[in-house]
A and B are shown apart, each in its own frame.
Chain A
Amino acid sequence: MNGLHYWRAMWGIIVRELMRFVRQRERFISALVRPLIWLFIFAAGFRATLGLAIIPPYETYILYEVYITPGLIGMIQLFNGMQSSLSMVYDREMGSMRILMVCPLPRWFLLASKLIAGVAVSIVQVYVFLIIAWFYDIEAPLEGYLWIFPALILSGLMLGALGLLLSSFIKQLENFAGVMNFVIFPMFFMSTALYPLWKMKESSEVLHHLAHYNPFSQAVELIRFALYGQFNESAFVYTLIAFVIFMMAAVLGYNPSKGMMMKKGGR
């Protein structure tokens, strides 16, 4: 086992994931249509009811569509993270997960490779979304499109690791619908994706706190600032820590002597 072995294995996993992605064209289209519906319909209708003050990183009054765009980018990655973990549950039910798990590499590395492959797919989706948004006159400064790249890697890793962690708990595919309801929706609505924090404070103090400590909010803020060429340090640190915690828990979840592989305490 050497570095080359690791590299080849990771590349193999990424190529497989991309091939599956290309194959499932419906998945790509639906991943794109979802945020576009929010942008074209929800945001357009909603902008009349919500007045936005000038808050960083914005320097002027903005349209609601502009505010919501980073949140929708986060949404793409959130769904993608959950989707790739869904595919892990599927793989496990279908048995192809076993092929991965019996190859002679450490499990954490295999999981990390899976994760990176998923992030790569999500970044492709985000850029396609941004191009469409550009034609809808949602334009960020050009360098923002460059700065957003590292931010997307980190936020994608964090959300992917969360999906991975969840997938280690889910034994069957059917249970996944519950996770969609209990994880994706609360995370998305209880975040700064759709409304700024200060606005939330006006209606509920509790909601404001929950949204503030929601890692998804922090990922969205990281993306929001990066899109305007700014670095949000606290969001970066928060997202990074969340990633490390989720990842470690996921590796533990896939550890053969603990977690889901034991199916409730085999000894």
Chain B
Amino acid sequence: MSNQDVRQDTMLLVEDLSFSYSGKKALNQLNFSINSAECTILLGPNGAGKSTLFSLITRLYDSHHGKIELCGFDVKKQTGQALSKLGVVFQQTTLDMDLTVMQNLRYHTALHGMGRKIAQQRIQQELERLNMYERRSEKVRQLNGGHRRRVEIARALLHKPSLLLLDEPTVGLDVPSRESIVKHVHQLVSEHGLAVLWASHLIDEIYQDDQLIVLNKGEIKAKGNISDVLKITNTSSINDAFKYLTQGEAK
């Protein structure tokens, strides 16, 4: 494979990324990349820097050190092109509670400049995939937490992004809802070649083929597939490896 090919496959590239709040380092020298058809789980305890990293990728903050590229576009210099390749599900619900599912999704398609016909088509496709299409006229307030999340995932995919960011999307959901969302996202990766970066602190959301990045106190402690991480930490389960990488530091 030539260098060019590798480059085309890289959906997210983070190089030497550091960030501080008021002089306190939140992220320190992060380096990693995510390829298409790859689900990368960003594991870390609360306060590890996961949300800061997401804010930098989505350009809510600007980094002064390092580089972030989405599909080859520099987030700082080619913001528009970079963001058009990105779908995001934030930790908090970002739906308008008193508007219907359809109205919420229409707002998103408008922001992405999609015409009415295409918008309608895409909304139907994404909602049907999550068995939510028949509930399109209901107000979001009437939906339960799991269904709201589904709507948000559908929304994040409407403009066909190449990279999907999920910031702890299953927090506060019951087990069946969690499982169905985890399964759905992994399907998107394997069937549609989507690149996914999924922030989590729940070990059981990891599939065998997933890539892992373990973040603690703003630094990457380990990265690679599951067997890589187990080898580095000399442990037999991800749970132990995670404890070793995050709690060892705390002692």
A residues contacting B by CB (< 8 A) are 1-2, 4-6, 8-9, 11-13, 15-16, 19-20, 23, 94-96, 98-106, 256-257, 261-267
Contact = CB atoms under 8 A, between A and B. Distances in A.
B60 A104 contact: no
Contacts of B84: 1, 104
Given A102-B86, A104-B80, A16 B96 contact: yes
A9 B114 CA distance: 9
Nearest to B103: A19
B99 to A, nearest CB: 6
B93 A103 contact: no
B88 A102 contact: yes
A262 B60 CA distance: 8
A12 B60 contact: no
Given A98-B90, A101-B60, A20 B110 contact: no
A39 to B, nearest CB: 31
A261 B60 contact: yes
Contacts of A16: 96, 99, 103, 107
Tell me the interface secondary structure of chain A in the complex. Answer: helix
24 contacts: A12-B107, A13-B110, A13-B111, A16-B103, A19-B99, A19-B103, A94-B92, A94-B94, A95-B93, A95-B94, A98-B58, A98-B88, A99-B94, A102-B59, A102-B86, A104-B112, A105-B111, A106-B80, A261-B60, A261-B61, A262-B61, A264-B21, A266-B20, A267-B19
A212 B24 CA distance: 46
Interface string B198-225: 0000000000000000000000000000
B248 interface: no
Chain B interface residue bracket vs A: 35 or more
Given A8-B110, A9-B113, A266-B21, A95 B62 contact: no
Nearest to B110: A12
Contacts of A104: 79-84, 112
A103 B111 contact: yes
A26 to B, nearest CB: 13
B110 A256 contact: no
B61 A256 contact: yes
B22 A98 contact: no
B111 A267 contact: no
Contacts of B98: 20, 23
B83 A257 contact: no
B83 A102 contact: yes
Nearest to A9: B111
B22 A264 contact: yes
Contacts of A4: 113, 115
B172 to A, nearest CB: 14
A8 B113 contact: yes
B159 to A, nearest CB: 9
B225 to A, nearest CB: 29
B21 A263 contact: yes
A75 B128 CA distance: 48
Interface-centre pick from B20, B99, B111 (highest chain A CB count, 10 A): B111
Contact of B58 (A1, A9, A102, A265): A102
Interface in B12-29: 19-23, 26
Given A20-B96, A102-B58, A257-B62, A8 B115 contact: yes
10 A-B pairs closest in CB distance = A12-B110, A5-B113, A257-B62, A95-B92, A104-B84, A103-B111, A104-B83, A95-B94, A256-B62, A104-B80
B60 A256 contact: yes
A183 to B, nearest CB: 26
B135 interface: no
A6 B95 CA distance: 22
Nearest to B111: A103
Nearest to A99: B94
B77 interface: no
A95 to B, nearest CB: 4
Contacts of B109: 12
B108 interface: yes
A96 B110 contact: no
Contact of B20 (A95, A257, A261, A267): A267
Contacts of A262: 61-62
B59 A1 contact: no
B110 A9 contact: yes
A16 B94 CA distance: 14
A168 to B, nearest CB: 13
B113 A1 contact: yes
Nearest to B97: A94
